Chains A and B, each alone.
Chain A
Amino acid sequence: MTEPMVRHYGPKAHTDHPPFNYPDYRSTVLRFPNKDMVSIVQTLSETTGPGPAWTEIAEEDADLTTNAGTGGTALGQRIIVTGRVLDENGEPVANTLIEIWQANASGRYAHWRDEDHPAPLDPNFLGAGQCITDGEGVYRFTTIVPGPYPWPNHRNAWRPSHIHFSIMGPALGTRLVTQMYFEGDPLLPLDPIYNSAPPHSRERMVASYDHDVTEENWATGYRWDIVIRGPLAAPTDQEDG
């Protein structure tokens, strides 16, 4: 058997991420693992992952203002959200799938469980999209600003406007699901999910208004870069493929 090429990944930077137990977000209380994680060696099961195969079969669907397929356009403030996916070494993560989902402009999800908030559904908005990063790691979506919405975590709890982002990356351990927030949102300091990330890293989830992304007579623009785990050293013997 030939020796498999093994590209190892640096350890997950746990201190950049929320703790598993964050009681201010009440749903963590009975759902966080309270026994120690077991550290293991990285085998092919960990250094590979579904990212490349899943990207192969995915279809790009990056305009959420029209992808409901009704022929109509979603209501709300149209925006372009773009940025790069980089690994922790600063290398672009090319050709990886990004999947997003979000509430509509009124703060309502097109989901059967979102029934307590008396905000209107938008028949022209599904709230889901996907795209594949290009060779420079760039992704780009057209969507609308999601509305804030109430949730039952504490008195008068409102989630700040956010877009859920799922990134596969190249390996099992590079899997990242996060949320993108908007610069200047007054709800951010009040939100336990945002605040679950440590103070030094939480602002990495906040997109900035970018006038160069904004398009004349069309949409305002936001820029947001995403950083995932990266390999310890680039493979030298062969390129991906």
Chain B
Amino acid sequence: MARLGETPSQTVGPFFSIGLSGEGENVLVSDGVAGDRIRLVGRVLDGDGRPVGDALIELWQANSLGRYRHPDDARGELPLDPAFTGFGRAATGFETGEYWFETIKPGPVPDPEGELQAPHLNLIVQARGTLNPLFTRVYFPDEEEANQSDLVLAMVPKDRRETLVAVPEGGEPAVYRFDIHLQGEGQTVFLDI
């Protein structure tokens, strides 16, 4: 059968929070969620290094055992966490371009060859002025060995890989910084998935 053409993507515009950003959707954890608590913080910056104050960041991740809450992740031996969906949303601050999530560190997820990938978070970035969703991944600086053997990171040119690794900022729970540079020197790697 002939393939149907896709409906074109359009910008989320400056007013997406009316429809897409509910209170508290950047907090994925609640009492009883298993796993190590983390806080992901960062700024979205444009090609001049100025904060993007109207960006929407969506987070999709596996639970602490590395299982996604999704019917196509049928690995029943890794239980789902009833208190954890793995999805969150954050809008950047208008003046600061800052976003943050409170979540847990995900467990490792297998790649198509059956090897474990390094733990990572998946982000979808959209803003006024972006016409298509931008996909990227956040890797953890304290997983050096796993990052070395990660199938997806290996597909990224070596000199750009560090844009996908969060910067540790200490703290308890652990804070990781992941700034998203939409353009220019040090542009974050965006993935064609």
Contacts and interface: CB of A to CB of B under 8 A. Distances in A.
Given A4-B110, A17-B9, A18-B132, A99 B14 contact: no
Contacts of B43: none
Interface string B23-67: 000000000000000000000001110101010001010100000
A101 B19 CA distance: 5
Contacts of B134: 33
B87 A45 contact: no
Nearest to B113: A41
Contacts, number: 274
Main secondary structure of the interface of B (DSSP, over half): loop
Contacts of A175: 58, 124, 133
B172 interface: no
Given A31-B47, A89-B1, A176-B7, A38 B131 contact: no
Interface in A28-70: 28-35, 37-50, 52-54, 56-57
A18 B9 contact: yes
Interface residues of B, number: 78
B74 A205 contact: no
Given A45-B120, A50-B60, A111-B15, A32 B183 contact: yes
Interface stretch (A73-81, A132-140, A190-198, A214-222): A190-198
A81 to B, nearest CB: 14
B191 A40 contact: yes
Given A28-B130, A34-B187, A193-B10, A54 B87 contact: yes
5 contacts: A30-B183, A44-B109, A45-B68, A45-B120, A49-B70
The 10 A-B pairs with the shortest beta carbon distances in the complex, nearest first, are: A101-B19, A27-B129, A197-B8, A48-B70, A50-B87, A31-B129, A18-B131, A30-B47, A30-B46, A240-B71
Interface of A: 1-7, 10-13, 16-20, 22, 25, 27-35, 37-50, 52-54, 56-57, 86-90, 99-101, 109-111, 113-114, 126-130, 164, 166, 170-173, 175-179, 193, 196-198, 200-202, 204-205, 226-229, 235, 238, 240-241
